[in-house]
């Protein structure tokens, strides 16, 4: 019993020392307006303005009805089963290897072959060339296995249906979550025009219509697959080609228009990895930025590949030399500096949303989807804008403390352990109520 008591006291001492170490690392100050509102019972800490709730998002009932009508002519069960391979392929997709990467890897393989073949001898250039010519098939095979392989997808009618049943629900939920926060954080925003690059089955249109149906009068959708465009069009006609569309001002095209007509919202969702090189991605992103009047929104899957191309596009726009096209990150970053997640570790900066699967083969289920995104606003950052830190990992709620991993306005990642004794009850309860992806209404200053 004595040994157990000593062990318990030691654990408590170590735990308190750890808490003391981290909790005194920063000076935490709750936003004055938020503090005043909570003190006057305007709202509770669990409903502070940094929280954005969007639970269990479902595809609209009229779209679900359209999907059922479309599948009167197709084998639904077979399509659902075959879609699993497509989902797996999309999730594990890498950006295509660049010429520089290929040359570096080839040089590395060639050096290994020469060193193994030489056994201490010195070869001149011609001798090395003769040796490598014998191993040319091996070098090609090694390049294929050691570099990410990329291939385009030909979206036929059947492939488009596979994409619909497997990806429509999670992608729609992600876009609704992003659009909802944009709508809340930018009050009185009434976009008139919407441009969707890589529009697919139309999830961007569904989400934009949900938020801004009263103000939008033009939806311009571009997808290189005519089968995708046809399916997206039919889904907005109750599942029948001869019915009128339920969306006014809807246009579908296969290619980006040459004109620089600008749109209030420009969206590229799950499309950049469809492009065959970084140069193609940069050209496309610049084209989309030139078409942007207010917001450019880029969304990809929340894995390493999706985060990489999202961050690549973010940095590209922020570093454009044209002063007329001054940009800043509206969401999710509270800063325009290089992404600290990309610089400091090998995990993606991503977020999570809960959604309901399509009720096609029985009842729907609740799943979660991870995504990486950036919303770029075409204007300089206002010095008076709220720059609260963003919670970039799940909040760890313990018995008497709460751990928040934050991305701050200084472009750093910080881990703050909140306790009521050190930071005050109001700040502590705000932290406990906040979730992954929320903003925390505080300012963080390192103590001297």
- Answer yes or no: do 323 and 181 share one domain: yes
Domain boundary among 335, 354, 377: 377
The candidate with the shortest Cα–Cα distance to 392, out of 334, 446, 445, 338, is 334
CATH code for the domain in which residue 322 is found: 3.40.50.150
What lies within 8 Å, CB to CB, of 248 at 6+ separation is 217
- Answer yes or no: do 79 and 109 share one domain: no
- Answer yes or no: do 72 and 112 share one domain: no
10-residue mean pLDDT profile of the chain (448 residues): values are: 48 46 65 92 92 90 95 92 94 84 77 71 70 74 73 92 97 97 93 97 97 96 96 94 90 91 97 93 96 97 96 95 81 94 89 95 90 96 86 94 94 92 92 95 79
What is the tens place of the pLDDT at every residue in 408-447?
999 999 999 999 998 899 999 999 999 999 999 999 876 6
Which residues span the domain enclosing 218?
61-93+152-377
What is the tens place of the pLDDT at every residue in 356-399?
999 998 888 999 999 999 999 999 888 778 889 999 999 999 98
- The pTM is what? 0.88
Token code pair at residue 237:
């006609």
- Answer yes or no: do 75 and 22 share one domain: no
- Answer yes or no: do 120 and 185 share one domain: no
- Answer yes or no: do 397 and 253 share one domain: no
- Answer yes or no: do 244 and 194 share one domain: yes
- Answer yes or no: do 405 and 285 share one domain: no
**For residue 314, how many C-alpha atoms fall within 13 Å in the half-sphere facing its CB?**
26
- Answer yes or no: do 427 and 364 share one domain: no
For the chain, the domain total comes to: 3
Domain boundary among 377, 406, 424: 377
4 falls within a domain: no
Strand, coil or helix: what is 243?
coil
80 falls within a domain: yes
6 falls within a domain: no
Token code pair at residue 362:
């029985």
């Amino acid at each position: 019993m004595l040994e157990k008591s000593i062990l318990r006291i030691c654990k408590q001492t170590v735990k308190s020392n750890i808490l003391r170490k981290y909790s005194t690392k920063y000076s935490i100050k709750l936003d004055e307006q938020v503090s005043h509102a909570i003190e006057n019972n305007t709202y509770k800490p669990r409903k502070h303005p940094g929280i954005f709730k969007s639970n269990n998002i479902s595809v609209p009932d009229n779209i679900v009805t359209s999907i059922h009508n479309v599948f009167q002519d197709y084998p639904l069960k077979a399509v659902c089963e075959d879609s699993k391979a497509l989902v797996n392929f999309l999730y594990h997709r890498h950006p295509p290897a660049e010429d520089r990467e290929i040359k570096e890897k080839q040089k590395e393989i060639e050096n290994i072959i020469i060193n193994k073949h030489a056994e201490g001898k010195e070869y001149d250039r011609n001798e090395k060339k003769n040796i490598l010519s014998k191993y040319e098939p091996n070098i090609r095979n090694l390049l294929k296995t050691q570099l990410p392989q990329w291939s385009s997808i030909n979206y036929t009618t059947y492939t488009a249906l596979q994409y619909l049943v497997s990806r429509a629900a999670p992608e729609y939920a992600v876009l609704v979550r992003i659009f909802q926060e944009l709508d809340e954080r930018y009050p009185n925003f009434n976009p008139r025009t919407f441009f969707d690059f890589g529009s697919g089955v139309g999830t961007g249109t569904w989400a934009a219509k949900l938020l801004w149906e009263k103000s939008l009068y033009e939806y311009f959708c571009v997808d290189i697959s005519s089968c995708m465009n046809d399916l997206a069009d039919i889904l907005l006609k109750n599942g029948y080609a001869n019915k009128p569309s339920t969306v006014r001002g809807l246009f579908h095209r296969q290619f980006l228009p040459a004109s620089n007509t600008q749109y209030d919202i420009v969206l590229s969702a799950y499309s950049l990895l469809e492009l065959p090189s970084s140069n193609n991605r940069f050209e496309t992103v610049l084209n989309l930025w030139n078409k942007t009047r207010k917001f450019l929104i880029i969304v990809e899957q929340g894995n390493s590949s999706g985060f990489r191309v999202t961050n690549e596009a973010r940095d590209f726009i922020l570093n454009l030399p044209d002063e007329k096209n001054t940009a800043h990150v509206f969401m999710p970053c509270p800063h325009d500096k290089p992404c600290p997640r990309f610089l400091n570790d090998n995990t993606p900066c991503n977020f999570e949303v809960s959604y309901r699967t399509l009720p096609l083969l029985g009842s729907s289920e609740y799943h979660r989807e991870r995504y990486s995104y950036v919303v770029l606003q075409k204007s300089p950052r206002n010095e008076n804008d709220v720059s609260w830190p963003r919670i970039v990992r799940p909040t760890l709620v313990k018995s008497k403390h709460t751990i928040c991993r934050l991305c701050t306005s200084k472009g750093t990642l910080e881990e703050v352990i909140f306790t009521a004794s050190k930071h005050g009850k109001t700040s502590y309860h705000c932290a406990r109520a906040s979730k992954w992806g929320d903003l925390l209404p505080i300012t963080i200053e390192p103590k001297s």
